[in-house]
Structure 1
Amino acid sequence: MFLAEKNIEHENIQIDLTKGEQMSDAFRKINPGCTVPALVTEDGVTLTENAGIAAYLEALYPEVPLLGTTPMEKAQIATWNWRCEMGGLMSAAEALRNSSPAMKDRALPGPKNIPQIPELAERGLMKLGWFFKTLDRQLSANKYVAGDSYSVADITATVVVDFGRWVKVTPQEDQTALLEWHGRMKARPSYKA
């Protein structure tokens, strides 16, 4: 979605996580950490973390700014993106990775097999519900997650809401600001990216 918002042309190679393609020898040559995404730059450097990829692309392609332009915007976007990652994505991942039979011994991403802890799945579900309440409050006072402008925090939060469906945690009917915002995000061309 970040690349689509900036209209950056790129080759997109899908890695099928359900088939374990991230564990293949071919992918380990790209990212020994066996995680996605991975961005191979024109210089041959591989970036493997969302924050680093976003910072790199924002520096190369400053228009449309997705990490903010003023010091305060940058701080607010970084804060809310971190909250979306920690409060939202990590909670959903904790629930999914510790409950899905398909992820037995894959409770954490990466090259090592890690056993599931069912209690962490329960905690993840609870935390994700709390996060949706926090996000609804934030969006009740703001057009976008981090303020008045669309940003990487909106991208991350959109992924959280969509990912939540995998663990059967969705925004509640009374979380109207969150539901309205998510409808606007789904209408963006980058949503289909």
Structure 2
Amino acid sequence: MKLYDAVWAPSPRRVRVYLAEKGVEIERVMVDLRSDEQLGDAYLRVNPRGAVPALELDSGEVICESSAICRYFEALHPPSPLFGETALDIARIESWTRRIEQEGYAAVVYVLRNQRDAFRDRGVAGKWPAVPQIPELAERGAILWGAFTAALDKHLAGRTWIATDAYSFADISALVTLDFAKAAKLAVPAGQANLLRWYDAAAARTSSTA
């Protein structure tokens, strides 16, 4: 099997960090997003949606979406704290991962894709008809981002990791989101000490550089 990857995009990075935590190595095929290689005929034959990452199995079947790819590898290898080993921890990790995606990551996408010239008529990632930018969505994203970081900072008071006592896929998702936010010039306010402490710990893990 092989993983179609991209250097700076957040979704492929989430898979890389997960695989590094699991100690799983896989063949990688790099897709150049800066030259829109993901929208070229060759890659569209792999993933007609024109998005990365994509995992091509030996059978030829392709699994898309970073979370689904990580779930696939989790099922292939011994269960770990990354997705939870008890029913309650599995639920906690899933709940926080979805919240991070829907509130934090979505906020960054709103801001980034609705105000940068590079995304003019590309308000949605992947292979779509022209999707115009909506400036009001950038404003919404900034508001959502502030609320998201404030809530996460409050949640992390007295906690080491986000969902359970162990580092998990929710932490991976949040780390990737906070780093991705820098591209949209969104930051964690200096007063949110709990979130900043958590970020330093997550970023210090070897896997964060994957």
TM-score range, shorter chain: over 0.9
Task: Identify the residue that residue 78 of structure 1 maps to in structure 2.
Answer: 94
Aligned 8 A contact 2:114 2:134 in 1: yes
- Once the two structures are TM-superposed, the CA of residue 6 in structure 1 deviates from its matched residue by 0.5
Partner of residue 203 from structure 2, selected from 164, 183, 186: 186
1:3 and 2:19 aligned: yes
Partner of residue 116 from structure 1, selected from 133, 138, 142: 133
Aligned 8 A contact 1:5 1:64 in 2: no
Aligned 8 A contact 2:97 2:170 in 1: yes
Deviations 1:26-59 (A, max 9, x none): 1101100111111112332211112211211110
- Once the two structures are TM-superposed, the CA of residue 110 in structure 1 deviates from its matched residue by 2.2
TM-score norm. by structure 1 comes to: 0.95
Deviations 1:84-138 (A, max 9, x none): 1011111101110111100111100121121110110111111111111111112
RMSD: 1.2
Aligned 8 A contact 2:39 2:127 in 1: yes
Aligned 8 A contact 2:49 2:126 in 1: yes
Partner of residue 108 from structure 2, selected from 87, 92, 96: 92
- Cα distance in 2 for residues equivalent to 1:74 and 1:8: 21
Task: Identify the residue that residue 34 of structure 1 maps to in structure 2.
Answer: 50
TM-score norm. by structure 2 comes to: 0.88
Q: Percent identity, aligned pairs only?
A: 40
| Structure 1: 5+ residue stretches without partners | none
- Cα distance in 1 for residues equivalent to 2:175 and 2:58: 29
- Once the two structures are TM-superposed, the CA of residue 143 in structure 1 deviates from its matched residue by 1.2
- Once the two structures are TM-superposed, the CA of residue 18 in structure 1 deviates from its matched residue by 2.4
Task: Identify the residue that residue 17 of structure 1 maps to in structure 2.
Answer: 33
Amino acid in the other structure paired with 2:73? L
Aligned 8 A contact 2:101 2:173 in 1: yes
Q: Secondary structure in 1 aligned to 2:132?
A: coil
Partner of residue 70 from structure 2, selected from 21, 42, 54: 54
Following superposition, which runs of at least 4 residues in structure 1 exceed 6 angstroms of deviation? none
Partner of residue 132 from structure 1, selected from 133, 144, 149: 149
| Structure 2: 5+ residue stretches without partners | 1-16
Aligned 8 A contact 1:158 1:182 in 2: yes
Task: Identify the residue that residue 8 of structure 2 maps to in structure 1.
Answer: none
Amino acid in the other structure paired with 1:171? V
- Cα distance in 2 for residues equivalent to 1:13 and 1:174: 41
- Cα distance in 1 for residues equivalent to 2:21 and 2:202: 12
Aligned 8 A contact 1:31 1:38 in 2: yes
Q: Which has the higher strand share?
A: 2
